[in-house]
Amino acid sequence: MFFRQLATKEATLSYLFGCGSCHVAVVVDPVLGDEDWFLEEAKKQDVNITHVIDTHVHADHYSGARALAERSGALYCLHESNAGRVNFEFEALRDKQHIVIGNVVVQVLHTPGHTLDSLCLTVTDKRRTNAPWFVLTGDTMFVGAIGRPDLAGKEREMAGQLFDSLHERLLTLPSELELYPGHTSGSVCGAGISGKPASTIGFEKRWNPMLSLDRDAFIEALTGEIPPRPAEMERMVAANLGN
């Protein structure tokens, strides 16, 4: 398999990976304006982009996913809970669904908390083994930090959901899994995010300060330090919903 991580605007990390031998690839969380980069990289790798996935409807940047999906003829994928919420057609992803990209298999994990529709994606390279090799954690979990509960007015409830998603879904993954988040330091999507763009489940389990807290302490800590809301947030959400 091949794998590219793009560090782009708003301290966002986007991903392009796939199967060179079957000439297919997937893009995760592209930012608007970066479409040419993805199309050029795909051309260099001699792959067709078949799926463009947003890990959630973003509130801190304009998503480039729909534009890129249109230009590359790929499916634009979001969690199924967005049906009726967004003003465009999309491929609805379900929890535990597998997306086959040649010899690469992406499995969808629904991990609500940062937002209700948040997804994490485990990725397996079947040429190596049938066990997942890495996980894209979107804004659910960062290196050294955790996503902010984004739903205004429901922060405590969402923080509780985030705790459950982390402990029941992400931290039960094998510790050797590499972890690739949706942001590095400088993002308003979480407090105390590291500048390092990758980690492992095991290292975060041991050293991420938010992961050693019990549920009540976690909710207190997370809702006590919510960073300021992104500038232009309403406009960005409206654009990303297709309004």
Contacting positions for Fe ion (CB under 5 A):
139, 189
- Structure letter (DSSP) for residue 59: S
C-beta closer to Fe ion: residue 45 or 240:
240
- In angstroms, how far is the first alpha carbon of the chain from the final one? 37
Sheet containing 134-138, strands listed edge to edge, beginning at the edge strand earlier in sequence: 98-101, 104-110, 119-125, 134-138, 178-181, 199-200
Instruction: In whole angstroms, give the CA distance from residue 118 to residue 65.
Output: 15
Classify the C-alpha dihedral 56-57-63-69 as positive or negative. Answer: positive
The residue of the chain with the least Cβ separation from Fe ion equals 139
C-beta closer to Fe ion: residue 24 or 31:
31
CB of 134 to Fe ion, least distance (A): 20
Are 50 and 26 a contacting pair, CB within 8 Å? yes
Are 222 and 208 a contacting pair, CB within 8 Å? no
C-beta closer to Fe ion: residue 102 or 138:
138
Instruction: In whole angstroms, give the CA distance from residue 187 to residue 2.
Output: 27
C-beta closer to Fe ion: residue 104 or 109:
109
CB of 88 to Fe ion, least distance (A): 19
C-beta closer to Fe ion: residue 34 or 139:
139
CB of 20 to Fe ion, least distance (A): 30
CB of 2 to Fe ion, least distance (A): 26
CB of 115 to Fe ion, least distance (A): 6
Instruction: In whole angstroms, give the CA distance from residue 121 to residue 102.
Output: 16
